[in-house]
Chains A and B, each alone.
Chain A
Amino acid sequence: MSLLEVKEAGFGYGRHNVLEKISFQMEAGEVICLIGPNGSGKTTLLDCIMGIFPLKKGEILLQGKNINHLKAREIARIIAYVPQIHKKTFPYTVEEIVLMGRASHVGMFGSPGRDDSFIAYEAIETVGIQHLLHRPYTELSGGEGQLVMIARALAQQSRIMIMDEPTTYLDFQNSLIVLEVTRQLAKKKNLSIILATHYLNHAFYFENNGLTTFTAMLNEKNFAIFGRPGEVLTKENISKIFKIECKIIDYDLDELKKQKYIIPIKLSEKEALVYV
């Protein structure tokens, strides 16, 4: 029984189909990088996996159970979510935010107890933001804010963490901090990660750091390719799906390892004409 199994999943808004016949499965400690052009349905797929939208076709099994038969609370104990953008309204403190990760373990008319506080604090410590504990999260920088969201997901004590473009608004250093924290969590806590991203090189980052990494390239409602980053992220595939020309270079990470890096060069000839 897989941790997560998606079988022939199909979904659409109204008559407009967004996803068709998507199938894959995932085991503990694995990383899946979900890539694809804007509007290809990455976020929608993530929402379906989290049970936000019920599928139109196919099924999603979480630890062997159909997600349609699970309550929000049961899903949240298996899947945690790190949002791409988080609209901040009230200046809750970091502590209060992370504590919300315990919602699936607290009754409907209850409040989190001592154990929940302890778990939330552990999550804050794991991510390394103890110094922000009592700061209002509205005052944090983008990178710090993202770490708070990861800590909140961690406090859920789930087995899968879904991240929707977690580094989009971050600078180089903060992107790498988020990636590294994520990698550590997968490695040490055996957490499975599904990460939607536009930074194709993230897949190589996880792979080179010893995680079982897959890359799913979403295009026109379906996985165009699903496999190891090296197999999926080829010059040909990227050119075809993103309609660009690119180069893939190898550079020495250290004496033993090489890392690939994708550099987008320009729009493909045919595409370029459209914009003239």
Chain B
Amino acid sequence: MQKFSSALKLKKNGILLILIIVLPFIGIFFSLFIGRYPLTWSDIMAVFRVAANSHVSQDFPDIYNTVVWKIRLPRAILGAMVGGSLAISGAAFQGLFRNPLVSSGILGVSSGASFGAVLAIIIYGQNYMVYFYAFGFALLAVVMSFFIGQIYHSTPTITLVLGGVVVSSIFSALVSFAKFVADPFEKLPSITFWLMGSLATAQYKDIYFSIMPISIGVIGLIALRWQINVLSMGDKEAQALGINNILTKIIMVLCASLATAGAISVSGNIGWVGLVMPHIGRMMVGNDNRILIPASFFLGAFFMIVVDNLSRTLIGAEIPLGILTALIGGPFFVYLLKKTKGKGW
């Protein structure tokens, strides 16, 4: 009998998959060496030596420790978490909605989060309330989309998408309105900066804030990854194949929204990753969500680390991430499309 099953595929793709998993870790490691504060390779090696072995005496200023462990490391980790979450939820939504053009923001998560953040900035200024408002409104937007989609007593995916479109545009309008009335000297710049996405202020507390929703979401999606294959056959077929459509969809939407909301509430609005990284994944590992879903997470994580490193080194000031993801992601996507000739697509 001919060898069947993923065993064969895994062997063929094994090296590629290991590479995809390892990439973000390599990315985080090298991020420690990159930045505006002038640290040489040997400075950083000295920092590592001290951290690894408490018996080695420290012969460099404390600021080195701060730069490496308190600024660069949390920023790289947070970048990986954010990029991974956006990409994995994008991949999940594409499967659920059987539509390759949807991204993590399809159910209004991003516009909900944007409005929440803008509202918090106007009320409280730039402080921790921004996270809670962004997160809360992101989930509120999804719940609203879901209930609008339920008007027809079931969850046909098309009405769910429509719900998402309606809710997105409502929150976008509210964001525009908030920008319109915001104080143009104090509030508007921080609103605009938040809306374009940034990890510039990343600290460990951002990681603590977002790690719960992101972990629950990502682990949930990875657990459901094969069911996404079946759901992408459409409602009727999925049910005939034995899937509890409504329950599975609710859990999926919840997980994807938690991950996305957790990510954008600390990073601001970062487009493109949730749309394109899943496609780059498809070209590399194929369409089987059993592999694609986890691969999207690691690819998104790596991509975000790279983009963030560029964002803080390319020019004197920080370039907002949303701008760079599009500028780098776009051409890279076209390159991959050309190279793989749309394989797996």
Contact = CB atoms under 8 A, between A and B. Distances in A.
A is bound by B: yes
Interface of A: 47, 50-52, 71-73, 75-77, 79-81, 83, 86-87, 89-93, 95-96, 100-101, 103-106, 108-112, 114, 117-118, 120-121, 130, 133, 152, 156, 162
B5 A117 contact: yes
A76 B236 CA distance: 12
Most buried by B among A50, A81, A90, A100: A90
B201 interface: no
B244 A130 contact: no
A256 B230 CA distance: 47
Contacts of A105: 242
B225 A156 contact: no
B243 interface: yes
Nearest to A89: B98
Contacts of B247: 108
Given A87-B234, A90-B232, A104 B344 contact: no
Interface range, B side: 35 or more
B236 A117 contact: no
- In the A-B complex, the 6 residue pairs with the closest CB atoms: A104-B242, A76-B242, A117-B5, A81-B240, A109-B223, A121-B4
Given A89-B99, A90-B95, A156-B242, A100 B236 contact: no
Nearest to B95: A90
15 contacts: A50-B239, A52-B239, A72-B242, A73-B243, A76-B239, A76-B242, A79-B240, A89-B232, A90-B287, A96-B287, A104-B241, A109-B227, A111-B290, A156-B242, A162-B240
B287 A91 contact: yes
Given A100-B241, A108-B227, A47 B236 contact: yes
A52 B241 CA distance: 11
Nearest to A87: B234
Given A96-B288, A111-B226, A91 B345 contact: yes
Given A72-B243, A111-B225, A100 B6 contact: no
Contacts of A110: 226
Nearest to B226: A111
Contacts of B223: 109
Contact of B2 (A83, A104, A130): A130
Contacts of A91: 287, 344-345
Given A91-B345, A103-B227, A117-B6, 11 more contacts: A50-B240, A72-B239, A72-B244, A81-B237, A95-B4, A95-B5, A96-B287, A104-B242, A111-B290, A117-B4, A162-B240
A230 B259 CA distance: 61
Interface in B204-261: 223-227, 229-230, 232-234, 236-245, 247-248
